[in-house]
Amino acid sequence: MLILTEEGVYRADTPAPRPEPVRVHGGAVMVDAFTGGGVAAQADGGVAVFGLEGTDRVASGIGDEIHCIQVLRENPLALLIGTEPAHLYRLEDGQPAARVESFDRLEVRADWYTPWGGPPAVRSLARSGDDVYADIHVGSIVRSADAGQSWAPVNPGLHPDVHQVAVCPAAPERVYVNTADAVFVSEDRGESWRHRADGLPCRYGRAIAVHPEDPDCLLASVSRGPRAEGTGRLFRSSDAGRSWASPDAGFPETTLDNVDTFQVAFDAGGAAWASVGDRLYRSGDRGRSWAVEWKAPAPIVAISCPPGSP
C-alpha cells in the first residue's frame, strides 16, 4: 500500500500497516501501487519508481500538471499519466513520456470544460485488462480497448462531471463512476449506464472503490457540494449501488471536508481503507465497521493498493 501525504510518500504492508517513508525528491503529487512496489508522480514532472531495492527517478519530460497515474505493466514498467490540461502521456522503458495522439484527436474534446473557466483535466484512470478508462473533469469518461493506444467516448447518458472512475477484476465489463450527481454503474463497458443514487441523502460524489472479488460491494463518498462544509459522508453498498447504508461503527458520521478522489480503496485481500485528514481507517468487514490504523504526520492526500488478480 502507498500513502501520499502533504509531506511525502509512505509505504505499508497490509493488513497491519507499518508505514515507512519513501524518499521522493521534488514533491509527490500522485501514487499508484503494484506488487512489490509503486510509482509516484512528482511536482516537477518526474516519476519516482520504488521497489524492494530502492528508488529510481525517471525524467518524464512532462511539462503539464500531473493529476493521475496508472500502471499498465509492471515489468518492464509502462505508465499512463493524466494531466491538466487534459492530455495523456505514455511512459515506458525509461524513455521520456510520449503524448497519446489518439486521445488528443478525440472530437468530444470540444465539449470538455470547467465551471471556473480553467482547462479540463484527466482526473482519474482505471484499468481492467486492456480496457482503460480516463475520467475527464469535466467531460464524462473515455475508453481505450487496447491499453491506451486508441480512445473513444462512452455513451453520453453518463453525467459529465465525473470525479473518479473504478473497475473490478471480478467483473471486467463493469465500470463504476462517482459524479456530481452520485454514482453511475455500467454493465457493458460504458455502452449504457444506471444511476445508483437511491438512498443517498446527498449526491455530490467524490471517491469510489470496489471490492476486488465482489463487484456488488462498493464504497462511495458524498456531500452537499464541492466544499462539503461538514456534510461529507461515506456509504457502502452490497448490491452494486441499488441501496446504500452508512458504516455501523468507527468511521466519522460526517467529515468537515469531502472524502476525496483517491481517498478510499480496497486492497487485494478485500480490506477497505479510507482517509480523513491525517487518519487512515481500515475495515475488515466491507465497510460496516472501521478503526483507525495509523495517524499520519500530515494530512493524507491519496491511498493506493495493488490491484487484485483478474
Q: Provide the pLDDT for residue 310.
A: 42
| CB distance 287 to 247 below 8 Å | yes
Instruction: Choose among 122, 139, 208: nearest CA to 167.
Output: 208
Q: What is the pLDDT of residue 52?
A: 62
Rounded distance between C-alpha atoms, residue 209 and residue 272, angstroms: 9
Instruction: Name the stretches of the chain with pLDDT < 50.
Output: 309-310
Phi, psi of 111 (to 5 degrees): -95, -5
Does the predicted TM-score (pTM) go above 0.75?
yes
DSSP 8-state symbol, 105: T
Residues in the chain: 310
Spatial contact of 103 and 142, defined as CB atoms under 8 Å apart: yes
pLDDT tens digit sequence for 134-161: 999 999 999 999 999 999 999 889 999 9
d(CA 50, CA 302): 17
Instruction: Yes or no: say if 263 and 274 are a contact pair by the CB < 8 Å rule.
Output: yes
Q: Please report the pLDDT score of residue 155 as a whole number.
A: 86
| Distant-in-sequence, close-in-space partners of 303: CB < 8 Å, separation ≥ 6 | 1, 2, 3, 4, 262, 263, 264, 265, 273, 274, 275, 280
Rounded CA-CA distance 135/273 in Å is 22
**Residue among 307, 293, 308, 296 nearest 4 (CA):** 296
Interval 173-197: pLDDT, tens: 999 999 999 999 999 999 999 999 9
| Of 244, 269, 231, 307, residue with least CA distance to 33 | 307
* Separation between Cα atoms, residue 185 and residue 194, nearest integer Å: 5
Cβ contact 211:168 at 8 Å: yes
Q: Which helix (H) or strand (E) holds 101?
A: helix 101-104
Distance CA 9, CA 3 (A): 6
